[in-house]
Amino acid sequence: MNRKYAKTKVTHAIRRTTIIIIMLALIIMLINIAPNYLKITKKDEIKLIINNNDVTSGLKTPIINMNNENYLSLADYKNFFDEFLEEDASSIITTSNTKTVKIQKNNNRIKVNGSDVTIKNASITTNNATYLPISDMANVYGYEYSYNENNKALIISSLNKKLVQAISAKDQSLKFKPTNVSRNLEKIARGDTISIIQDTSKDADIEINGWYKVRTKTGNIGYINKKDIIGRKEVRGNLEWKQISGKVSMVWDYYEPTESAPKREGTIEGINSVSPSFYQINEDGTIEKNVSREYIEWAHFNNYKVWPTLSNVQLGNIDAMSKILSNYDTRANAIENIVKALTENNVDGINIDFENMYKEDKDKFSRFIIELKPRLRDIGMNLCVDVTEPDGSDTWSLCYNRNVIGKVSDYIVFVAYDQFNSSSKTAGPNASYSWVEANIKKFLEQEVVAPNKIIVANAFYTRLWKEQKNELTNTVVNMNEVNIPDGVQKVWNDEAKQYYIEYQKNNANYKMWIEDQESVSNKLDLVNKYNLAGAGFWEKDREINNVWPIIKNKLKT
């Protein structure tokens, strides 16, 4: 009897253990099959889908629905559409791909690219936050949108992003995971249109084991078996902006405002863009023009892009530059004048060369570039901005936010010369290889500028240093005017990767780090080593002729 009882007890224990093991296995299987299986959504919360991504969890504040209009907070517009959006007590300044917009708070009138526009719904302020109407901002930010009331999903698709769609080949279910045993999210009818979500890093459909990741018209995101869709088509592609294919090779063609543009004939080997000195900015933000239509025709005949330089050098007044940058209205005035000047002539863009600015105006200069860029894109113009090396003086170097300029502009030009300049107390190279490389690394690592935005500007000149009676002076020597005295041997300097000479004459000691085809060739190797956007050359007519074939070969133009 006791034996029978003991046996029954063991059997029950084994059965209980088996049941527990099976339950644990089922739980583990469910966790593996469908992690985050159920998403708890707050009651009446509106989901936000942007470019086929559910970004609801990233909302800073919930979407507000008022009078049949959905409103998104400025914090979320800044997060999802314009990281440089600015707000003050009375207005909002925001930009998109082709629009610079000033919005007066709680007002139906806004200013778009300098023109007054009336919108249906004004901004609203509630809970200490400002909100913009999603429908009225569609034209500003360039998106299409829809709202699914049943699913409480707001779906926004940027018009400059790739959109791929297909048709459901049968009645089927949208799966939470790419497997038949996953939970059903939604019934899809035969003939329904679905959007295939893209892997932007690969510019390809997201496909896992034969399943497409898709979005339905209700805003649900899940998976459909690839064999169960038909009619895949690319509705629109990514909007890309690139005037030049491959490396940029730009040469500056400088001439004084009182002079005429040079008369060019034939071709310049190895270049694909030119930057003549067409424009100067005046104290009131107007543009002084010295344009040559003959020069433009020559450049375009040879398939060169024309990116004229706009300079502030003639101002000679740092306070005047500060005034131009001081607020939105003064910047907008200058921008309107720039746009007008560019559209009057058949040019392709602009090279902004603003020097000698207050360090305190760094963010205001960034705002100028931020607000200028969409206006140029709107008229099909390119924007490149000249900056110096990081970590220099206040008004020469620390007045630029290279990270912002690099993000916004088409190209940021690193002026990679004057390492030792006219005011240096020590003799040294104009642009040594090691110095240029160190600063390229700063652009990439410290300033976090994308390599495909950086143009490295090279100098077609050097300096002859004279040391006499404890006094140091220097003279600019163009590349095509370098003269090595008889009997003086040039010595290769491997750190600078250029030739060096030193000699005595009339009780003075002379030094020169020579800029020639060798030094240029080595610095162009850095452009390729770091996969940068290209190179620029200051300036035409200072070079030696045999430098151009090297430029052509190194940049593959």
Q: Which pLDDT does position 159 carry in this prediction?
A: 95
Report the mean per-residue pLDDT for the chain.
93
Residues 447 and 522 in one domain: yes
Check which CATH number belongs to the domain holding 255 and give it: 3.20.20.80
Residue 510 CB neighbours (<10 A): 19
At residue 39 the predicted structure's pLDDT band, cuts being 50, 70 and 90, is: very low
Establish if 68 belongs to a structural domain. yes
Tell me if the pTM is above 0.85. Answer: yes
Residues 420 and 531 in one domain: yes
At residue 210 the predicted structure's pLDDT band, cuts being 50, 70 and 90, is: very high
- Of the three residues 236, 261, 283, the one that is the final residue of a domain is 236
Q: Which pLDDT does position 240 carry in this prediction?
A: 80
Check whether 127 has a pLDDT greater than 90. Answer: no
For CA atoms 510, 513, 515, 518, the dihedral sign is positive
Establish if 150 belongs to a structural domain. no
Mean pLDDT for the stretch of residues 153-164: 95
Q: Which pLDDT does position 40 carry in this prediction?
A: 41
Establish if 468 belongs to a structural domain. no
- Of the three residues 110, 145, 180, the one that is the final residue of a domain is 145
How many domains does the structure of the chain reveal?
Answer: 4
What is the SS3 assignment for 520?
Answer: helix
Residues 111 and 4 in one domain: no
The pLDDT tens digits of the residues spanning 476-491 come to 999 999 999 999 999 9
At residue 413 the predicted structure's pLDDT band, cuts being 50, 70 and 90, is: very high
Residues 414 and 265 in one domain: yes
Residue 448 CB neighbours (<10 A): 11
Check which CATH number belongs to the domain holding 62 and give it: 3.30.457.10
Beta-bridged to residue 233, according to DSSP, are 165
Cα dihedral angle (313, 316, 317, 318), rounded to 10 degrees?
50
Report whether 511 contacts 504 (CB < 8 A). no
- The DSSP result for 186-248, as a single string, is EEE-TT-EEEEPEETTTTEE-EETTEEEEE-TTS-EEEEEGGGEEEEEEEE------SSSS-E
Residues 226 and 274 in one domain: no
- The DSSP result for 10-50, as a single string, is HHHHHHHHHHHHHHHHHHHHHHHH-TT-S----TTPPEEEE
What is the SS3 assignment for 493?
Answer: strand
- Of the three residues 93, 110, 145, the one that is the final residue of a domain is 145
Establish if 79 belongs to a structural domain. yes
Residues 165 and 266 in one domain: no
Q: Which pLDDT does position 43 carry in this prediction?
A: 60
Residues 101 and 190 in one domain: no
Q: Which pLDDT does position 35 carry in this prediction?
A: 46
Residues 274 and 391 in one domain: yes
Check which CATH number belongs to the domain holding 205 and give it: 2.30.30.40
The pLDDT tens digits of the residues spanning 262-298 come to 999 999 999 999 999 999 999 999 999 999 999 999 9
Q: Which pLDDT does position 38 carry in this prediction?
A: 39
DSSP state for residue 409 in the 8-state scheme: S
Residue 328 CB neighbours (<10 A): 19
The pLDDT tens digits of the residues spanning 186-196 come to 999 999 999 99
Q: Which pLDDT does position 14 carry in this prediction?
A: 66
Q: Range with the lowest mean pLDDT among 236-250, 414-428, 440-454, 458-472?
A: 236-250
φ, ψ (nearest 5 deg) of residue 69: -125, 135
Q: Which pLDDT does position 242 carry in this prediction?
A: 84
Establish if 466 belongs to a structural domain. no
Establish if 483 belongs to a structural domain. no
Establish if 274 belongs to a structural domain. yes
Q: Give the amino acid at 318.
A: I
Q: Which pLDDT does position 198 carry in this prediction?
A: 95
Domain range for 2: 1-33
Residues 299 and 422 in one domain: yes
The residue to which tokens 């940027």 are assigned: 158
**Token reading at 194:** 């679905």
At residue 25 the predicted structure's pLDDT band, cuts being 50, 70 and 90, is: low
The residue to which tokens 């007008």 are assigned: 340
The Cα–Cα gap between 154 and 151 comes to: 9
Residues 401 and 521 in one domain: yes
The Cα–Cα gap between 296 and 348 comes to: 10
What is the SS3 assignment for 139?
Answer: helix
Q: Range with the lowest mean pLDDT among 17-21, 112-116, 302-306, 423-427?
A: 17-21
> Which residues neighbour 536 within 8 Å (Cβ) at sequence distance 6 or greater?
248, 249, 250, 251, 252, 275, 413, 455, 456, 457, 458
Total residues belonging to the chain: 557
Establish if 38 belongs to a structural domain. no
φ, ψ (nearest 5 deg) of residue 362: -55, -50
Residues 15 and 133 in one domain: no
Report whether 134 contacts 72 (CB < 8 A). yes
Residues 399 and 339 in one domain: yes
